[in-house]
Amino acid sequence: MSATVIDGKKIAAEIRAEAKIEAAELIANGTQPCLVVVLVGEDPASKAYVGSKVKACEETGIKSLKITRPSDTSEEALISEIDRLNADGSVHGILVQLPLPKHINEDRITERIDPAKDVDGFHPVNVGKLSIGMDCLTPCTPTGIPEMIVRSGIEISGKHAVVIGRSNIVGKPMMSLLVQKGEKANCTITCCHSGTKDLAHHTKQADILIAAIGVPEFVKADMVKPGATVIDVGINRVDDASVAKGYKLVGDVDYANVEPIAGAITPVPGGVGPMTVAMLMKNTVKAARMLS
């Protein structure tokens, strides 16, 4: 048996096409959705992520502005920039690319963004609203995961989902999303993390196993229940002398050995990654609709 490979690129393209139609409707009604991405410093991965977000905006009919600041930008200067964007009625989404340089307190920056423009869904107001099931802007990466499962024809409701990882960006919001009532949720949830004892005992119970650990090929075949849906959030660079750039990207799942026993699986790259940008487009359109 081999798994259904969940095509994140294809599903992301569908979602981006939907966001494009929604953006066009807003434009027809006099609102051009606008996302501002703020990049502090020169981190190459962050630069690449920002580049792909700006390009996606162009393709979706969303106006995008990129603000770049040097790595020695002060916290106060960044806060002033956010205040200016919060007050600007033509801006609907504000995204400050993380991680920030060490001298800037990320929590202070996240809390400064107007929750109505918080297209990353990291503001405590949005985190709280999500946890009590209120409509809000939710973090892009975990929000894309139920979408890609359901759009692949796999039922989620009533399933046991095991999430490995408890970060504020992926693991915790993933739990909050899946535990809600609804067709794309309604799961029984187990969350595993670095303090979990006998991890494999828990992961083997999963109908849906979501790996957000940040350790290359951490999830082995003997940790997976045959037939499970395996979602690999990890993006890890590992050395590879056989390619010109000297590295390749691998996920948190040992794909070669897990794929033959899984029911469905996401590849890396081409799985969860493209969904994140697609959900950012959806969130920006949603913010523009809420603010217009």
Chain contacts with ligand NAD (rule: CB under 6 A): 141, 164-167, 169-171, 192-194, 196, 199, 212-215, 233-236, 272-273, 276
Q: Which is nearer to ligand NAD, 179 or 191 (CB)?
A: 191
Distance CA 4, CA 56 (A): 27
CB of 57 to ligand NAD, least distance (A): 17
Concerning whether 53 is annotated as a catalytic residue, the answer is yes
Q: Which listed residue (53, 172, 282, 286) is catalytic? A: 53
Task: Work out whether strand 4-5 and strand 264-265 pair parallel, antiparallel, or are unpaired.
Answer: parallel
Nearer residue to ligand NAD within complex by CB, 262 or 272: 272
Nearer to ligand NAD, 8 or 81 (CB): 8
Interior angle at CA 55, CA 141 and CA 283, nearest 5: 40
Query: Does the active-site annotation cover 9?
Result: no
Give me the least distance between CB of 86 and ligand NAD, in Å please. 25
What does the DSSP assignment read for 49-102? HHHHHHHHHHHHT-EEEEEEE-TT--HHHHHHHHHHHHH-TT--EEEEPSSPPT
How near is the Cβ of 52 to ligand NAD at its closest, in Å? 10
- Shortest distance, CB of residue 44 to ligand NAD, whole angstroms? 14
d(Cα 289, Cα 83) in Å, to the nearest integer?
21
178-183: long-range contacts, CB 8 A cutoff, minimum separation 24: 178/146, 180/133, 181/133, 182/157, 183/150, 183/156, 183/157
User: Element (H or E) spanning 208, and its range?
Assistant: strand 208-211
Active site residue 120: yes
Report which residue's Cβ sits closest to ligand NAD.
167
Q: Which of 63, 114, 118, 120 is catalytic?
A: 120
Q: For residues 76 and 198, which CB has a smaller minimum distance to ligand NAD in the complex?
A: 198
- Residues recognised as catalytic: 53, 97, 120
